[in-house]
Amino acid sequence: MDPLTIINLRMHLRQQNIVEFEQRVYDLSTPGHPSYGAHMSQKVIDNLLRPAEETLQLVMDWLSFARLNNIPSLDNNFLYINTTVAEASLLLNAEYAFFLNEVTGKVVLRTLSYSLPLDLHEHIDMIHPTTSFPSVSTRKATMLDGKQTTPAGRRRQAKGDMGHEFEKRKVRDDDLAIFEEIYANETVGTGYEFISVNGGLNTQYWGQDTVESAIDVQSGIALNSPTPVSYYQTAGQPPFNASLQITSDDSELYLEWLTFMLALNDTELAQVVSMSYADEEQSVSIAYAKTVCNLFAQLAARGSQHCLRLVMMGQVGSASPMTERTPLSATQHIEPEIGVSFSGGGFSNYFSRPSYQERAVSSYLENHGRRWAPYFNSTGRGYPDVSAQGTKVSIIYWGGHRYEAGTSCSTPIFASVISLINSDRLSKGFKPLGFLNPWLYSSASAGLEDILSGRSTGCGSTYPGANIPGAGWTAVEGWDPATGLGTPSFKKLLAISQEECGR
Binding site per annotation, positions: 450-451, 478, 480
Residues in contact with 244: Cβ distance below 8 Å, sequence separation at least 6, in sequence order: 463, 464, 465, 466
Pairing of strands 326-332, 305-309: parallel
Among 399, 447, 371, which residue's Cα sits nearest to residue 159? 447
Three-class SS of residue 414? helix
**Cα–Cα distance measured from residue 354 to residue 409, given in angstroms and rounded to the nearest whole number:** 27
DSSP string of 180-204, one letter each residue: HHHH-GGGTT---EEEEETT-----
CA distances from 445 to 234, 344, 389, 480 (A): 34, 21, 17, 13
For the question of residue 408 being annotated catalytic, the response is yes
160 strand-pairing partners: none
Peptide bond into 31 cis (omega under 30): no
* Direct distance between the N- and C-terminal alpha carbons of the chain, in angstroms, rounded to an integer: 62
Strands 326-332 and 338-339: antiparallel
Residue 212 annotated as catalytic: yes
The DSSP secondary structure of 37-56, one letter per residue, reads T-PPPHHHHHHHHPPPHHHH
Contact 345, 384 (CB under 8 A): yes
Determine the Cα–Cα distance for residues 206 and 172; give it in Å rounded to an integer: 10
Q: What is the CA radius of gyration of the chain?
A: 22
What are the phi and psi torsion angles at 383 (to 5°)? -150, 150
Neighbours of 320 (CB within 10 A): 31
Query: Binding site for Ca(2+): what residues are annotated?
Result: 450-451, 478, 480
Please count the other Cβ atoms lying within 10 Å of the Cβ belonging to residue 53: 9
Question: Is 119 assigned a catalytic role?
Answer: no
The span from the CA of 442 to the CA of 31, in Å, is 9
Q: From the candidates 175, 212, 280, 281, give the one annotated as an active-site residue.
A: 212
Active-site residue among 29, 285, 408, 410? Answer: 408
Give CA 98 to chain center in angstroms. Answer: 30
Of 125, 175, 216, 385, catalytic: 216
Rounded to whole angstroms, the Cα distance separating 180 from 4 reads 51
Distance of CA 328 to the CA centre of its chain: 10
Contacts of 281 (CB under 8 A, 6+ apart): 289, 314, 318, 319, 320, 321, 348, 349, 350, 351
Residues in the chain: 503
Q: Is residue 481 reached through a cis peptide bond, with omega within 30 degrees of 0 on the bond before it?
A: no
Catalytic site positions: 212, 216, 408
